[in-house]
Structure 1
Amino acid sequence: MPARAVTALSLASCLLTALAAAGCGNSSSAGADPPALTKAQAQQALASFTEGANRAGRRLDRVALRGIEVDPQLSMDTASFRLRRVVRQRPPVLRLGQVAYYIPRMHGYPRWFAADAATGSGKQTVRHALLFTQAKAGAPWLLAADPYPMEAALSRVALDPDGFATPVDPGSKGLAVTPAALPGVHARLLTEGPGASGVSVLADGPRTHQTFEALRDGEQALAKRGITLSSRFSAAPYGVYALRTRDRGALVWYVLKQNEAYSAPNRGTLAVSGDLVGLAPARATRNRMDTTVLVQYLATVPPKGRVTVGGMYRKAVALRGS
């Protein structure tokens, strides 16, 4: 998260933004289990992260990120630091305000909690849906995900009389789609389009149908320049996390992996630019470029009806040229 303020965009991600482990803890009934941590401990975890993020940002220290983050956030912010080092631009000082904590009751490990926060002010305000995890007793709390919600999505989370949230098991039934199945459904829509099996559960929007349309338009635009682009999405091998909402639905964090393949018959047509800067030398590509992109999402899943995908953080994390 400390590295994202001026992240540039790749050819495909320009089109996207123009439009707009199983480790998830165990589900439990409110009050049946103790909270994952106290509010005071959550405040300390966030403060420690903020201090560490600013310290790492001042030196663009990728190694220091390992002490405050875990994948997928770690791989994404590490790639952002690589970009920033090339363009010689440090991230702005991280100041989180308007913080609200959503701490689930659960037993066992890994444990996790979420925080709603904002950076900036006025029209420059950016919301954050931070998700922290703890692998085992005594381990540090690390930032695992931070998609940018378009609105205060976490305000929908249900809280018990003591102010704690209820985790939703990824395989839970009684929802429009199970949280565990959501990444695969979303990936099919972005890869195959609205005619793919099971994707009608996703509401139209800038992170769903409009993204698919933008990718197809982008492929056609690149073809006119002699560049062939193919893009495929899949569920990334990271945890799916969910909290119960007041309408008995769920707020779900999940991650997709996007594999892009660019090719051109003429050398010099492809270039390492935009969001790809820092992942490989500028002259690394001749006729082909294969990239790996991670995309974090935050979605609202109702008991019935369509899923709304309202938050996203996208970053290219690997490039191979030939």
Structure 2
Amino acid sequence: MIRRITATVSLLVSLLLLSGLAVAAAPARALSRSAAIEVAQKEVARPTEVAATSHVTGSDRWTVSLRQEGARPEDRVYIAVDGSGRAVEWGWLDAGKLKPAAISKAQALTLAKNFAGYGYHPLSAGLVLTPDTLTWEVTLARSGSRYQVTLDAFTGKLIGRNTPPADEEPVLLSRAAAVAIARAQVSYPAQVDAAALTTYRGKLVWQVKLSRSGLGIPNSDVFYIDAHTGSVLAHSGTENPAPVPLSQDRAVALAKEQLGVPAEVANARLDTAGGQGKWVVTLYEKEQPTCWHIFVLSAADGKVLQHLRVYIG
């Protein structure tokens, strides 16, 4: 019996790792109304107040309508937010008539970058209601300069280009400051091979590449430094060795802690497919042996990447 169950669970583990399948996965915690409002208000570029919210029972989706300061009283911006806290639809409630935007935020960022020209990187994008239409207002930066592009949210047509007012310009870290931050992270006399603005995980960053100057042991390090805060978001190279993988005992302990009920270990193995180490821990509940749980944890930091619940019987 146990052998049959183990074989079934092993098959599910393989499917989970190969395809990301989440059969009978534990339900995600529902997004709260306040969290949905917070997400929606980050999608607009002007001060707004909440006009209404809606949530269909049994659905993980919220719709938030916002009243923009200075816009026509009957007009609203609406944003649909899914259960993971991600905006998935944008639009204009025009005197009661629903008009979904055809241009997503990601598309607006790409279009704005094309209109602004070489070397510009998006800083922010938000919706703005005008008397005639709904627009995306995108602010971009290149070294010390800023640029603002306004696009029609329904057609993607360029409406305007200008330099934003000084009081609206976000302060950017200078190239020299970013280089100084990177140099402070290494113990060797470093020369700068490159330092340029780019994007990293959706944020504007300075990418600084350092190497050892003069004679000695070869060194090379790359830093991604937040262009607004100066925080080092990522570092790879000779002075940042790969972290020691999580031990099997620790992975099992974390899985049991996450489960929260007494359980026995059926299997725990390290999977290195794709170059990213993951611990796959299979547990079954002591009081309900037909209820099995598969946890996938990052071998670097122990974060639970996926939890699959399987009922056998």
Shorter-chain TM-score category? under 0.3
Could you say which structure has the higher strand fraction? 2
Higher relative contact order (CA 8 A, sep 6+): 1
Task: Name which one, 1 or 2, has greater alpha-carbon Rg.
Answer: 2
Could you say which structure has the higher helix fraction? 1
TM-score (norm 2): 0.27
TM-score (norm 1): 0.26
